[in-house]
Amino acid sequence: MSTSPLEKDRFRFLVVEPDEDLAREMMIVLERLDVQVDHERGHLKALAVSEDTEYDCLLVASRGIDISGLELCALVRARETRRSLAPAYIILVGPEEDLVTVFTSADDIDDYMLGTWMDLELEWKIKRGLRAMSVCRDFGASRLLDTETGLLTPEGLRTFLLEEVNRIGRREGWLSMSILAVPGLGGLRVSYGEAWLEWFRDGIWSSLRRQLRNYDRLASMNNGFLCLISPDLNEEGTRFLLARLASVISEYQFQENTEPSTHVSLAARYLCVRVRGDYRQFGRTGDVLWGWLREKMTEPMSEGIMGYTGTVDLNLQVALTLAPKD
C-alpha cells in the first residue's frame, strides 16, 4: 500500500499516550514515514491542544491518566459536530480486554490496535489512514471550496468563521467580517451579455483575492455578494484593507475590443468585533456573527464603505461607524 509524499505533507498527527516509552516507539515509526507528528501525555491536555492546532489523525491510548481514550473520542466528536468540522481519523490503542467496550461504543472510532503491536502493523494502519483521510478531504473540499474560482462556499465560510471565533476568542482578539458587492454590474449585461458579465465579474473577484493576506478568506454567497473574513484585524486595518480593495475595483479595466475601460465601484459593509466570553460558548458566539452576515445580505447595497465596531460574546454590541472619505 503506497503513500505519496503529497498525502504525507497534507496531514498532521497527534499521539496521545501517557507512557513515554510507548509514545517514543510510535513517534519513531511515524517519523520514519515522514509525517508531521506531536505528542501529549494527558488526554485532557491533548483535547486542549487540538483546539488550537488542527490534527487530522489522533492515535489515542484507551487508558489515560485523567480521562479514558473513549471519553476523549466522545469530546472530539462532539466538538466536530457542534462546529461542523471535518472529522479526525481516530485510532485507539489499548489492551484486548477493552475491545468489547470499544465495539459497543456509540462513538465513531476509525480503527483499533492492540497494545502489543508491531512496527509494520502501525505503519500499515497509518498508511491506511492516510488514504482514507485523502478521500475524505477531497470530498469535503468540494463542499467547502469552489475549485474553479478559489472562493469558499457559504458552508466553507461558516466553518472557517466558527474555527476563527474559537481561536481568537481565547485571547479576546479582533475579527473582521465584510460583505462586498459591485452595484451596477447587472447593467452591463445588456451591453455585453451574460457570458461576458460572468467572465468580467470573475476577473474582479480574482483581482480582489490577490490583495488579501494569506489567512484572509473570501467566499461567494448565494445572492451574488462576496463575504470576506479577516482574522486579527481591527477597525483601522479593516478600513485600510477595504480602501485598497475599492481602489483595485475602481481601476479594473477591460480592454478586449470594447470600450477602453469599464469603471465599477465597491460597496462594502463591515463588522469589526473583539471576541469575548467563555470558550465553551464560542459555538453560539459564531452563530451570532453568522446571523449578522445573513441579515445584512438581505439589505440593499449602495456604493461606499460603512460598518460597525464593538464586541461579541453571546450578544452583539456594536456602534455604527463610517469610513472617512478621501
| Residues linked to residue 151 through DSSP beta bridges, in sequence order | 146
pLDDT score of 178: 95
Q: Which one is predicted more confidently, 141 or 65?
A: 65
Residue 270 to residue 73: CA distance in whole angstroms: 38
Q: Average pLDDT over the chain, rounded to whole? A: 81
Non-local (6+) Cβ contacts of 259 within 8 A are: none
pLDDT score of 197: 74
Contact in structure between 166 and 51 (CB atoms under 8 Å):
yes
- pLDDT, tens digit, for every residue of 23-41? 999 898 888 888 888 999 9
Residue ranges of alpha helices (H) inside 220-324 are 235-250, 282-296
Residue 168 to residue 279: CA distance in whole angstroms: 10
Residue 326 to residue 317: CA distance in whole angstroms: 28
Give all domains of the chain, ordered by start, each with its CATH number: 5-140 (3.40.50.2300), 151-322 (3.30.70.270)
Residue 186 DSSP symbol? G
pLDDT score of 154: 86
Write down the pTM of the prediction: 0.58
